[in-house]
Amino acid sequence: MAGNRRAGRRGTGETSPLRLIAVAVILIGLVLVSLRLLPGSPFESSAAAQWGDSEATTSDRQTGAATDRSARQPSPPSPSPSPSPSLAPLPFQAKDLKLDIQGWYSWSVLDRRTGKIIGSKNMGETSTTASMIKSWIVADYLRRSADAGRTPSDAKLADATRIIRDSDNTRAEQFYNDVGRDASIKRLLSMCKLTDSSVAPDKGWSRTALSPRDTARLGNCIATGTAAGPKWTKWLLNEMKLVRGAGDFGIRKAFPAAEQKNIAIKNGWIDRTREQEMHINCLAIGDTWTMGVMVKYPIGMGYDYGMKNCEKITEALLRPGA
């Protein structure tokens, strides 16, 4: 009977002390493992801290590793910016002129590449344009014809040639009527963005008031195609390069003969009996620049004095070797 009682006690599943200890060890181990994987736990493993939670993707891990490596490596030095190519200087240099010239004179040069303007301190003062304004009148006529879908007849183009090359007054007056007289000068002020100049209401094209600074702007307005439009700009500039006779004086005469043929000009000259003054004006357009020079002096001194002084002022501003 005793043997049966011992067998019965074993059959009831009575647990020995060794088995209890083993179970406790396993439970403790599971708890520690859980704590090592729990984010923020003091027992969090180095792997969990590096890679995040257990659902982090392989791509995330690779990105994290690359970021960690880049953080440890010094950044390469930034490349130095390439210097901007410098523009060749214009043939002119800004300076205060002290010339032995009687009366009033003023000048201005515009850099066509940058729009920068240099000039005398009085470059914003005005004088009457005389024939210099004919460059605008012809440009206005040609642009408006193209805008209206009209091509000037051969006869009209021949007239325009006479106005530019020979400064024909009669034909200039006809063109001035065609473009609306004062309305044309108002378009000049607006389209060419002039700041100093003004219309002479009902007094004709010759009395238009322009400054040397605005004269340079007019030259640029012609050179860029704004004045005559894309169809006729090249034609007009070529005609201005072919100015001849009495009107061929001033700015371009200060340049070597080989360069003169590439400089477009339109000059103006008139004796103002009301003011008892000679008004001589010079406009020139080069490849990279435009220039305006104006002189006024006592009427008795004649035309040649002012024509030569336009050239003299230009020569004084030219860089050595230009």
**Residue whose token pair is 């009977």:** 1
Q: What is the mean pLDDT of each run of 10 residues along the chain (322 residues)?
A: 40 50 57 51 43 38 46 53 73 93 97 97 98 98 98 98 98 98 98 98 97 98 98 98 98 97 98 97 98 98 97 96 68
Instruction: Output DSSP code: residue 52.
Output: -
Instruction: Output DSSP code: residue 262.
Output: T
Instruction: Report which secondary-structure segment, H or E, holds 237.
Output: helix 229-241
Six-digit token string for 277: 């003054």
Q: What are phi and psi of 296, to 5 degrees?
A: -135, 140
pLDDT score at 228: 98
How far is it, in rounded angstroms, from Cα 94 to Cα 317? Answer: 7
pLDDT score at 36: 53
Cβ–Cβ under 8 Å, residues 204 and 169: no
Six-digit token string for 129: 């344009």
pLDDT score at 96: 92
Six-digit token string for 94: 């800004």
pLDDT score at 55: 38
3-state secondary structure of 8: helix
How far is it, in rounded angstroms, from Cα 24 to Cα 267? Answer: 113
pLDDT score at 16: 57
How far is it, in rounded angstroms, from Cα 222 to Cα 216? Answer: 10
How far is it, in rounded angstroms, from Cα 230 to Cα 232? Answer: 6
290: CB partners within 8 A, 6+ apart: 109, 110, 112, 216, 217, 218, 219, 220, 223, 283, 284
Cβ–Cβ under 8 Å, residues 139 and 222: yes
pLDDT score at 320: 87
